[in-house]
Every structure is written in C-alpha cells, then in structure tokens.
C-alpha cells in the first residue's frame, strides 16, 4: 500500500504519470499560473486573504480562493480563521510548503539566468 494520495486535481492519467514522473507530482500541486505565485507570497510569512489579493492584483477572487483551497487540500498551505466580526483569516505555509522554498529559489535563479540568456539571443 504505497499509493500516492489523490491531489486536488484528480485524474487517472495524472495519477499514473505521477508514479512514473515525480516532477508531475510536483506540477500537480504547484503548477498552474497562480499557486506558485501564492506560495511565493507566503514565503515571507502568513498573510490575510485581503493582503494576498492586494499582493496579486491581477488574480480574480475566484482563482485566489480556488488556488488557496487546492493548496490547503494538498497540505501546502494552512488556513487559520478567527471567528470574529469582521472575519480574520490568515494563510501560511505548512511544513511541506516551507520545504518548497529552496525549490522556488532554484527556479527563480534559473529563470533570471535563462531570461537574460534568451534576451541576447
């Protein structure tokens, strides 16, 4: 019983691919346009919903919530809600999420490097 638990984006082919390619496993969790951006924003510490919205102005509320829910379902992000009026909800990286930070930094390095190389053709 070494089954990989289902990600937020469930699909039989994806599951198969994940087993054969761990990179796909990662992609299913932090892929898409928004999830990695959100993680990036949370690296500096917990943020409220409205802070995230302000930090990522181009995202729609639908996508922000949807992405946050997926990240929460995949246990990369922790949602903590204070039941008060007005509501006070903060999102933060879980342990798994924090373990992604070196990866993000490596990606960022490669991106900078590659974009510079590509510019000068």
* Residues of this chain that bind DNA (CB under 7 A): 9, 11, 13, 32-34, 48-51, 58-63, 65, 68-69, 79, 81, 86-89
Distance in Å, CB of 28 to DNA, minimum = 10
d(CA 64, CA 98): 20
Residue 46's binding partner out of DNA, a second copy, none, with CB under 5 to 8 Å set by partner kind = none
Residue 84's binding partner out of DNA, a second copy, none, with CB under 5 to 8 Å set by partner kind = none
Residue 71's binding partner out of a second copy, DNA, none, with CB under 5 to 8 Å set by partner kind = none
Closest of 28, 44, 22, 25 to residue 101, by C-alpha:
44
Contact 24, 18 (CB under 8 A): yes
Closest of 40, 37, 65, 36 to residue 50, by C-alpha:
65
């Amino acid at each position: 019983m070494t089954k990989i638990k289902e990600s937020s984006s469930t699909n039989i082919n994806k599951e198969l691919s994940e087993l054969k390619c761990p990179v796909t496993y990662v992609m299913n969790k932090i892929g898409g346009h928004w999830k990695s951006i959100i993680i990036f924003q949370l690296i500096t510490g917990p943020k409220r919903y409205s802070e995230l919205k302000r930090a990522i102005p181009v995202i729609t509320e639908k996508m922000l919530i949807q992405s946050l829910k997926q990240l929460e379902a995949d246990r990369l992000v922790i949602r903590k809600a204070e039941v008060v009026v007005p509501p006070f909800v903060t999102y933060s990286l879980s342990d798994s999420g924090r373990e992604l930070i070196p990866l993000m930094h490596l990606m960022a390095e490669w991106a900078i490097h590659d974009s510079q190389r590509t510019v000068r053709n």
